[in-house]
Amino acid sequence: METMQHVFDSAELWHLLPELVLAAGAFALLLFDLFFDSKQKGITHWLSMALLLVVAVLVFTGAGGQPAHLGPPPVLNGMFIRDGVADLAKGFICLVSALGFIYALPYLKERGIYKGEVPVLMLFATLGMMVLVSSANLIMVYVGLEMLALSSYALVAVNRDSPVATEAGMKYFVLGALASGLLLYGMSLVYGATGTLDLEAVLEASISTQDYLMLMTGAAFMVAGVAFKLGAAPFHMWLPDVYQGAPTPVAQFIGAAPKLAAFVMAYRLLSALAPYSEIWGTMVAALAGLSLIVGNLMALRQSNLKRLLAYSTVSHIGFLLMGVAVGNAQGAAASMFYAVTYALTSLASFGFIILMSRKGFEADEIADYRGLGKRNPWMAFLVLCVVASLAGLPPFIGFFAKVAVITAAVNEGLLWLAIVGIVCAVIGMFYYLRILKAMYLEAPEEGVTALANPRDCALMRTSFAVNALLLLGVVVVMNPLIDWCYELFFIP
Mean pLDDT of 413-435: 93
pLDDT at residue 72, as a whole number: 61
Q: In angstroms, rounded to a whole number, what is the distance separating the alpha carbons of residues 350 and 362?
A: 11
Q: What is the mean pLDDT of the chain?
A: 87
Beta bridge partners of 361: 358
pLDDT at residue 207, as a whole number: 83
Residue 190 has pLDDT above 90, yes or no: yes
Residue 368 has pLDDT above 80, yes or no: yes
pLDDT at residue 327, as a whole number: 87
Count Cβ atoms within 10 A of the Cβ of residue 306 and give its class: 0-12 exposed, 13-18 middle, 19 or more buried.
buried
Task: Give every CB contact of residue 48 below 8 A, 6+ residues apart in sequence.
Answer: 25, 26, 29, 101, 119, 120, 122, 123
pLDDT at residue 376, as a whole number: 84
Q: What is the DSSP string of 164-211?
A: HHHHHHHHHHHHHHHHHHHHHHHHHHHHHHHS--BHHHHHHHHHH-S-
Name residue 344's amino acid: L
Residue 188 has pLDDT above 60, yes or no: yes
Tens of pLDDT, residue by residue over 425-452, are 999 999 999 999 999 998 876 655 544 3
**How many Å separate Cα 367 from the centre of its chain?**
28
CA distances 187 to 180, 181, 287, 393, Å, are 10, 10, 20, 40
The answer to whether 143 and 265 are in contact (CB under 8 A) is: no
Q: Which of 270, 399, 400 is nearest to 329 (CA)?
A: 270
Mean pLDDT of 147-167: 91
What single-letter DSSP state applies at residue 365?
A: B
Residue 347 has pLDDT above 90, yes or no: yes
* Run of H or E residues at 75: strand 74-75
**For the chain, percent helix, then strand, then coil, each to nearest 5?**
75, 0, 20
pLDDT at residue 454, as a whole number: 39
CA distances 376 to 37, 113, 444, 449, Å, are 38, 29, 11, 10
Tens of pLDDT, residue by residue over 249-292, are 999 999 999 999 999 999 999 999 888 888 899 999 999 999 99
More confident residue, 149 or 7: 149
The answer to whether 389 and 304 are in contact (CB under 8 A) is: no
C-alpha radius of gyration, the chain, whole number = 22
Tens of pLDDT, residue by residue over 300-341, are 989 999 999 999 999 999 999 999 999 888 999 999 999 999
CA distances 212 to 126, 207, 208, 280, 483, Å, are 36, 9, 9, 13, 38
pLDDT at residue 93, as a whole number: 96
Count Cβ atoms within 10 A of the Cβ of residue 43 and give its class: 0-12 exposed, 13-18 middle, 19 or more buried.
middle
Q: In angstroms, rounded to a whole number, what is the distance separating the alpha carbons of residues 197 and 460?
A: 44
pLDDT at residue 446, as a whole number: 62
pLDDT at residue 319, as a whole number: 95
Which range among 120-129, 219-228, 307-316 shows the weakest confidence by mean pLDDT?
219-228
Q: In angstroms, rounded to a whole number, what is the distance separating the alpha carbons of residues 251 and 242?
A: 7
Which range among 74-88, 305-319, 340-354 shows the weakest confidence by mean pLDDT?
74-88
pLDDT at residue 423, as a whole number: 95
Name residue 460's amino acid: M
CA distances 270 to 202, 218, 226, 307, 466, Å, are 11, 11, 10, 30, 36
pLDDT at residue 79, as a whole number: 87
Q: In angstroms, rounded to a whole number, what is the distance separating the alpha carbons of residues 197 and 138?
A: 5
pLDDT band at 7, cuts 50/70/90?
Answer: low
pLDDT band at 2, cuts 50/70/90?
Answer: very low
Tens of pLDDT, residue by residue over 231-259, are 898 998 889 999 999 999 999 999 999 99
Mean pLDDT of 190-203: 91
The H-assigned helical ranges of 327-446 are 329-356, 372-375, 377-391, 397-411, 415-441
What single-letter DSSP state applies at residue 442?
A: S
Most confident of 80-84, 87-91, 470-474: 87-91
Q: In angstroms, rounded to a whole number, what is the distance separating the alpha carbons of residues 312 and 292?
A: 9
Q: In angstroms, rounded to a whole number, what is the distance separating the alpha carbons of residues 347 and 168?
A: 20
Dihedral pair phi/psi, residue 19, rounded to 5°: -65, -40
pTM: 0.92
Q: What is the DSSP string of 242-262?
A: HHHHS-HHHHHHHHSHHHHHH
Q: Is 106 helix (H, G, I), strand (E, B) or coil?
A: helix
